[in-house]
Every structure is written in C-alpha cells, then in structure tokens.
Amino acid sequence: MIPLYAYRDNSCDPRKCTVKKLERAGFLKIFTRIPQIPRNTLILDPTAEQALSPADRFVKSITALDCSWVVLDTGQIASWKIRRALPFLVAANPVNFGKPCKLTSIEAIAAALFIMGEKERAGEILGKVSWGIRFLEVNKEPLELYAEAKDSTEVVKAQSLFI
C-alpha cells in the first residue's frame, strides 16, 4: 500500500477540503510547508513533463498538491526527482463537474491509485465524499486504459483517444 501525503496551503475552505477529509479518515498526512514533503515521494504535478503510469507503482509515496496554482512557487516543486502529471480525466466534483482536468485533490489521488493498480483503495478514498464514486463512473474507460498501459508513452497514446 502506497503511503499518501498532501501539501496544503490553506487556500480553500477547510470544511469543504477533500484532503482534510482524507486526513480525518486516516488515509493521508498533510504537510503545510513544502520542505516537509519527503524528497523521495512522487508529486502529482500538472506541470510535470511525464504522465503518471503503472510503471510508477513502485514509488515510496504519492503527494498531492492541494493549493492554489496561481500562488504556488513551482520552482520549489521543480527540484523534485519524481513529478508526474495525470492524463486526461474529467472532473466529477460539484464545482467543476464535466470539466476536463479540473480535479479536486481527492480525485487526483484516487486516479493515481487506480492507474497504479490500487483500484479498490481508489474507490475507498472516493467514498469519503458524496459525489466521489461518480468520478470512477465518468472516467471508467480512460482509467482502465491508463491502468493497462505499460509506461508513460502508452498512457499519453491512450489519452489521445479522449482529447
């Protein structure tokens, strides 16, 4: 089981924050300063040049960035050894429902787990929000294809079917 972390900058409402819900349920640990994040973690970073794939399943941990991308100093993140972008997926959260690539942190973490072979755990995590399972329904076909891919190149090729 891959350990989960999140960097949270407190820019969202703590009552609606999906990573706070995951922390309360014992699924992940939150860091409030970037230097606290373990250096050997895989960071889910939409600016990364490589797509997440099943080949990444041997990472030590996964860290989601739960923050405003407008104010995030991406220079601090760029030095991380393992950064991956999620492939094309559609949001199922109430704020961005149906919008491509506008995922909440809980959707991003669940997608990463699904792609990396922890499908059941992805469902458990999404069960912590009322609309969570809808994410798997909306993205069933792409998630299955991404999870069957061998590496990042195959994920990007599969992604082209949905863009």
Q: Residue 23's pLDDT is what?
A: 92
Helices and strands, number each (H, E), in the chain = 7, 5
Structure confidence at residue 134 (pLDDT): 96
Q: What are phi and psi for residue 154, nearest 5 degrees? A: -70, -35
Q: Tell me what pLDDT residue 125 has.
A: 95
pLDDT in tens, 49-61: 999 999 999 999 9
Low-confidence ranges of the chain (pLDDT < 50): none
DSSP, res 9: -
Model pLDDT, residue 91 = 95
**What's the confidence (pLDDT) of residue 73?**
57
**Would you state the pLDDT for residue 35?**
87
Enumerate the β-bridge partners of residue 66.
8
What is the reported pLDDT for 85?
95
The confidence score (pLDDT) of residue 161 equals 93
Domain borders along the chain are 4-159
Q: How far apart (Å, rounded) are the C-alpha atoms in residues 104 and 120?
A: 19
